[in-house]
Amino acid sequence: MAGVTLQNVSKRFGNVIAVNNASLEIKDKEFIVLVGPSGCGKSTTLRMVAGLEEITEGTILIGDTVVNDIPPKDRDIAMVFQNYALYPHMDVYNNMAFGLKLRKFPKAQIDQRVKEAARMLGIENLLDRKPKALSGGQRQRVAVGRAIVREPKVFLMDEPLSNLDAKLRVQMRAELSKLHNRLQTTIIYVTHDQTEAMTMGDRIVVMRDGFIQQVGAPLEIYNQPNNLFVAGFIGSPAMNFMDVVVRKDGDNYVADGGEFKLTIDPARAAQFKNIGKYVNKEVVFGIRPEDIEDAELATDIVETSMMTAMVDVTEPMGAEVYAYFSTGRHSFIARLDPTTRATDGEPHKVVLNMAKIHLFDKDTELTIS
């Protein structure tokens, strides 16, 4: 087992900078998730760790060894791809054993490793089947099993669940987390799905346009995003953003959106150390859908945190209702109690938890601290 270190790593394709000066310390036995939209550089970063892409600048270490010039087969890593990459003419047993056979492992050791990995993944009864006789989830387990038998220092996983249906994705998410707990090895996992990132990673690395935006534990990134992009990317449904002007009303600060005026919770306002500099200036006001409540059902209503907005659409989800609101130039989404009486095309009162709001600088898009 080993940690992985990236020191000022960059990757250029001609004039295009895919990864820009990325530095990251991944601890031994850590499950770290690289997340971001398509084209943000996350897969390129993974491929550089694997040795499948040459590094333009910088240094990558696996353990204490600089691997810049070491070929992939000698890096002691195992990779799981999005498309499984199983050999169609081989049964499951031989697919899993193939890498060990190439390395001239003794037959008994190969057999022991393959059967142990199959038992761990619950595919013991599939060892004699060909890939075409397997479901998507079973193929993915075989691909993971093929990586496990290698007993590598580092597992690299490139969107391994993206080809599975929603129900299977949830199941495999839990299985991969359990597997990490059992194997106690370093895993670098790439995904564009922030739900996977939030539920699986010890830490998340949020990337955009080749730059690392923020690194931290899932709840740290969720509750304390560095900037507008991270705030909007992490969380489902995404954080609501509205342009407001910060006003001073006696000792209180008010978010003035034109159609509404909301008093910022004093304890929350005190956390914005520089809020005084933004008085009478436009900022971006952010609030998560779960921090907006139906006023009819709220138990603790503060008049200065309530607004009336038009209900555009409601989406019953069973355990909750997603309600899409608009008021003047602003629109937002709320996660409401399933007993809400919010009706499409009708005005409805909602209460915002002003202790949970976020403020962002309009020009730099950085969190106001």
Q: How many Å apart are CA 214 and CA 146, to the nearest integer?
A: 32
Q: How many Å apart are CA 337 and CA 333, to the nearest integer?
A: 13
Q: How many Å apart are CA 7 and CA 25, to the nearest integer?
A: 8
Predicted pLDDT of residue 178: 87
Predicted pLDDT of residue 140: 87
Whether omega before 237 lies within 30 degrees of 0, making that bond cis, reads yes
Strand 16-26 with 4-13, pairing: antiparallel
CB 294 within 8 A of CB 350: yes
84-102 average pLDDT score:
92
- From residue 35, alpha-carbon distances to 42, 49, 164, 188, 278 in Å are 7, 16, 18, 11, 32
Task: Delimit the CATH 2.40.50.140 region(s) of the chain.
Answer: 242-361
52-60 average pLDDT score:
96
Predicted pLDDT of residue 367: 96
Average pLDDT, the chain: 93
Distance of CA 80 to the CA centre of its chain: 18
Find all residues with CB under 8 Å of 74, minimum gap 6, and list them: none
Pick 4-233's CATH classification: 1.20.1090.10, 3.40.50.300, 1.25.10.10, 1.10.274.10. 3.40.50.300
CB 359 within 8 A of CB 272: yes
Q: How many Å apart are CA 274 and CA 278, to the nearest integer?
A: 7
Band of the pLDDT at 300, cuts 50, 70, 90? confident
pLDDT at 1 over 70: no
Among residues of the chain, what percentage have pLDDT more than 90?
80
Measuring CA to CA, which residue among 9, 52, 7, 34 is closest to residue 187?
34
pLDDT at 168 over 90: no
- From residue 307, alpha-carbon distances to 215, 261, 323, 356 in Å are 35, 8, 14, 16
Q: Which CATH class is domain 242-361?
A: mainly beta
Out of 243-252, 292-301, 335-344, least confident range: 292-301
Q: Quick: pLDDT tens for 201-232.
A: 999 999 999 999 999 999 999 999 999 999 99
Among residues of the chain, what percentage have pLDDT more than 70?
100
pLDDT at 160 over 90: no
Q: How many Å apart are CA 140 and CA 15, to the nearest integer?
A: 36
Phi/psi-derived region of residue 7, left when phi > 0, alpha when psi is between -120 and 50, beta in every other case: beta
Task: Delimit the CATH 3.40.50.300 region(s) of the chain.
Answer: 4-233
Q: How many Å apart are CA 315 and CA 151, to the nearest integer?
A: 46
pLDDT at 299 over 80: yes
Predicted pLDDT of residue 302: 85
Q: Quick: pLDDT tens for 109-142.
A: 999 999 999 988 889 999 999 999 998 888 988 9
What's the whole-model pTM score? 0.91
Predicted pLDDT of residue 163: 79
pLDDT at 179 over 90: no
Instruction: Tell me the Cα Rg of the chain.
Output: 25
Measuring CA to CA, which residue among 174, 125, 122, 177 is closest to residue 145?
122
Q: Burial-class residue 14 by CB neighbours within 10 Å (0-12, 13-18, 19+).
A: exposed
91-117 average pLDDT score:
93
